[in-house]
């Protein structure tokens, strides 16, 4: 597939004529990003022979990285700030497993932060990419496969009638905000505490994991004017949303939310929450925007909107529709019968196993999952919003995290991030993870 098709779409659930008027900006799919390639001369075979867990090569490479990149990483949450130790550098991924540059193997529950839902480096995806790359990697012009992917997305996601492909979830959310403002002629937007919608300035208010993980009050460098029109409410708090509409009559273009929060840890909506948002936005002629960058194609093939049966006006997607790279095969694989049932089965077993291990060993852990998205908090719970999530014992999480690494299990390095399973995770992976969790919980 030509690389002019990008990993993220903005799905526009508006009428075709209004959409056409509002999307005259330059197609960003041809923009040139610079990616730096990293060469690491590490012999995997040599490392296979190693028995003990060591991170010597990671430590050395990370020291070098810190000299060249702020914090030594290219995304704050990779920096291990909240779990201690140093980030691990990886050499390869396959199926449900990752291998670091010291030759250690891990069962992976980050899944490249969501895209790897059918497992890493799937053979058919690699073959399709190799075939397509022979035709060139960038056209800067339309190509047929854009139509194929657009049609698949439109068929899959209930609210989407047309799509605009962009390069990242951040761009998708920036675009959707501009569209909502242009369509309604209003500037204020409501977002929820702990929800993350990419790193565009207007959204960097109470934005969940990245900021929470680093313990920053809010993001330095964001001018007040950029967030002046951003109103916030606690997640799952309908009365707070009603108050905001009451106090800002005729000024609010819409509500944007993660229909299931993943960026403050896993927090599902309470049963009536999303339907109330649908009602409130309709009553106020405002738009309901689902940021399905994380939940799209994960909670179900049609995303959270299909799962909950609520149709938003606008949708942003990312992660899975790109599969880390443009990935039509990824979507085909997900369409196979039983995919989501399998994800639900293994993920609920995993979470229940960890909660039970907590009970056996005397640690308060709560958690949950929907399909292949999950999370657990080191607190009694229940966790309904970011304030509840922050009651977690993050020190204990850090000790648990380090112990699990040594047992060969890789979770996201923050208490405030969701985890992900894939179709490549086996029952054995899950059982090993639960056994490792119990072992580590006994030690901390």
Ligand X SMILES: Cc1ncc(COP(=O)(O)O)c(C=O)c1O
User: Is residue 12 helix, strand or coil?
Assistant: strand
- What's the min distance (Å) between Cβ of 433 and ligand X? 23
Neighbouring CB atoms inside 10 A of 244's CB total 19
* Residue 380 near residue 364, CB atoms below 8 Å: yes
Instruction: Give all strands of the β-sheet with 419-420 in edge-to-edge order.
Output: 366-370, 373-377, 419-420
342 in catalytic set: no
Of these, 29, 132, 236, 263, which contacts ligand X (CB under 6 A)?
Answer: 263
Which residues lie closer than 8 Å to 343 by C-beta, 6 or more apart? 117, 371, 372, 421, 422, 423
Q: Does 294 bind ligand X (CB under 6 A)?
A: yes
- What's the min distance (Å) between Cβ of 203 and ligand X? 8
Q: Is 418 left (phi over 0), alpha (psi -120 to 50) or beta?
A: beta
- What's the min distance (Å) between Cβ of 411 and ligand X? 16
Q: Does 318 bind ligand X (CB under 6 A)?
A: yes
Q: Does 268 bind ligand X (CB under 6 A)?
A: no
Stretch that binds ligand X, among 47-55, 78-86, 193-201, 211-219 (CB under 6 A): 193-201
- Residue closer to ligand X by CB (options 274, 294) is 294
Q: Which two tokens stand for residue 171?
A: 């761009």
Of these, 102, 146, 291, 388, which contacts ligand X (CB under 6 A)?
Answer: 291
Of these, 108, 146, 258, 306, which contacts ligand X (CB under 6 A)?
Answer: 258
Q: Does 378 bind ligand X (CB under 6 A)?
A: no
Q: Does 277 bind ligand X (CB under 6 A)?
A: no
- What's the min distance (Å) between Cβ of 295 and ligand X? 8
Of the candidates 247, 358, 298, which has an alpha carbon nearest to the alpha carbon of residue 116? Answer: 298
- What's the min distance (Å) between Cβ of 435 and ligand X? 30
313 in catalytic set: no
Q: Does 156 bind ligand X (CB under 6 A)?
A: no
Helix runs in 270-378, H state only: 273-283, 303-308, 328-335, 339-361
* Residue 12 near residue 163, CB atoms below 8 Å: yes
Of the candidates 205, 207, 211, which has an alpha carbon nearest to the alpha carbon of residue 196? Answer: 207
What CA–CA distance (Å, rounded) separates 305 from 295? 9
Q: CA angle 389-391-397, nearest 5°?
A: 85
**Long-range contact pairs involving 436-439 (C-beta distance under 8 Å, separation at least 24):** 436/404, 436/407, 436/408, 436/409, 437/353, 437/354, 437/357, 437/400, 437/404, 437/409, 438/357, 438/360, 438/361, 439/403, 439/407
319, 340, 410, 429: which is the annotated catalytic residue? 319
- What's the min distance (Å) between Cβ of 215 and ligand X? 19
* Residue 245 near residue 181, CB atoms below 8 Å: no
Interface characters, 105-134, with ligand X (x: CB under 6 A): --------x---------------------
- What's the min distance (Å) between Cβ of 195 and ligand X? 7
201 in catalytic set: no
Of these, 293, 317, 373, 412, which contacts ligand X (CB under 6 A)?
Answer: 293
- Residue closer to ligand X by CB (options 47, 417) is 417
Q: Does 165 bind ligand X (CB under 6 A)?
A: no
Q: Does 198 bind ligand X (CB under 6 A)?
A: yes
**Long-range contact pairs involving 355-358 (C-beta distance under 8 Å, separation at least 24):** 356/434, 357/434, 357/437, 357/438, 357/441, 358/441
Q: Does 9 bind ligand X (CB under 6 A)?
A: no
What CA–CA distance (Å, rounded) separates 248 from 435? 52
- Residue closer to ligand X by CB (options 103, 111) is 111
Stretch that binds ligand X, among 22-30, 182-190, 258-266, 361-369 (CB under 6 A): 258-266
196, 235, 307, 410: which is the annotated catalytic residue? 196
Q: Does 267 bind ligand X (CB under 6 A)?
A: no
Q: Does 173 bind ligand X (CB under 6 A)?
A: yes
- Residue closer to ligand X by CB (options 263, 300) is 263
- What's the min distance (Å) between Cβ of 299 and ligand X? 12
* Residue 287 near residue 176, CB atoms below 8 Å: no
* Residue 323 near residue 115, CB atoms below 8 Å: yes
User: Is residue 300 helix, strand or coil?
Assistant: coil
Q: Which residue is nearest to ligand X (CB)?
A: 169
91, 100, 102, 291: which is the annotated catalytic residue? 291
- Residue closer to ligand X by CB (options 262, 323) is 262
**Residues in contact with ligand X, total (CB under 6 A)?**
15
Look at the alpha carbons of 385, 388, 390, 392 in this order and tell me if their dihedral is positive or negative: negative
What CA–CA distance (Å, rounded) separates 297 from 116? 11
Residues that bind ligand X (CB under 6 A): 113, 168-170, 173, 196-198, 258, 262-263, 291, 293-294, 318
Catalytic residues: 196, 291, 319
């Amino acid at each position: 597939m030509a690389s002019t098709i990008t990993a993220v779409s903005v799905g526009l659930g508006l009428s075709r004529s209004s959409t056409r008027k509002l999307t005259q900006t330059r197609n960003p799919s041809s923009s040139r990003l610079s990616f730096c390639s990293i060469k690491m001369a590490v012999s995997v075979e040599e490392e296979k022979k190693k028995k003990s867990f060591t991170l010597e090569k990671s430590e050395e490479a990370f020291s070098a990285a810190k000299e060249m990149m702020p914090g030594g990483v290219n995304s704050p949450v990779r920096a291990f700030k909240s779990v201690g130790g140093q980030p691990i550098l990886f050499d390869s991924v396959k199926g449900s497993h990752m291998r670091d540059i010291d030759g250690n193997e891990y069962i992976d529950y980050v899944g490249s932060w969501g895209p790897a839902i059918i497992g890493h480096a799937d053979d058919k995806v690699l073959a399709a990419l190799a075939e397509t790359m022979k035709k060139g990697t960038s056209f800067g012009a339309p190509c047929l496969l854009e139509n194929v992917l657009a049609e698949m997305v439109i068929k899959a996601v209930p609210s989407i009638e047309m799509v605009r492909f962009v390069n990242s979830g951040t761009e998708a959310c920036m675009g959707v905000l501009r569209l909502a403002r242009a369509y309604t002629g209003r500037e204020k937007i409501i977002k929820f505490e702990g929800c993350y919608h990419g790193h565009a300035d207007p959204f960097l208010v109470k934005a969940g994991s990245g900021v929470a993980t680093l313990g920053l009050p809010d993001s330095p460098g964001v001018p007040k004017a950029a967030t002046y029109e951003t109103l916030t409410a606690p997640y799952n708090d309908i009365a707070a949303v009603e108050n905001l509409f009451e106090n800002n009559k005729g000024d609010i273009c819409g509500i944007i939310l993660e229909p299931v929060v993943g960026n403050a840890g896993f927090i599902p909506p309470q049963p009536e929450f999303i339907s109330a948002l649908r009602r409130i936005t309709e009553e106020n002629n405002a738009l309901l925007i689902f940021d399905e960058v994380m939940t799209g194609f994960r909670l179900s093939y049609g995303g959270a909107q299909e799962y909950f049966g609520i149709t938003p006006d606008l949708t942003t997607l990312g992660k899975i529709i790109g599969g880390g790279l443009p990935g039509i095969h990824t979507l085909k694989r997900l369409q196979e019968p039983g995919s989501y049932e399998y994800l639900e089965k293994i993920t609920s077993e995993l979470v229940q196993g960890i909660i039970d291990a907590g009970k056996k060993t005397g640690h308060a852990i709560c958690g949950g999952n929907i399909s292949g998205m999950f999370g657990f908090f080191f607190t009694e719970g229940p966790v309904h919003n970011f304030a509840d999530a922050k009651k977690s014992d993050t020190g204990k999480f850090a000790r648990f995290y380090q112990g699990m690494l040594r047992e060969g299990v890789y979770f996201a390095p923050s208490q405030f991030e969701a985890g992900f399973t894939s179709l490549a995770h086996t029952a054995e992976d899950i059982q090993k993870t639960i056994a490792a969790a119990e072992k580590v919980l006994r030690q901390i």
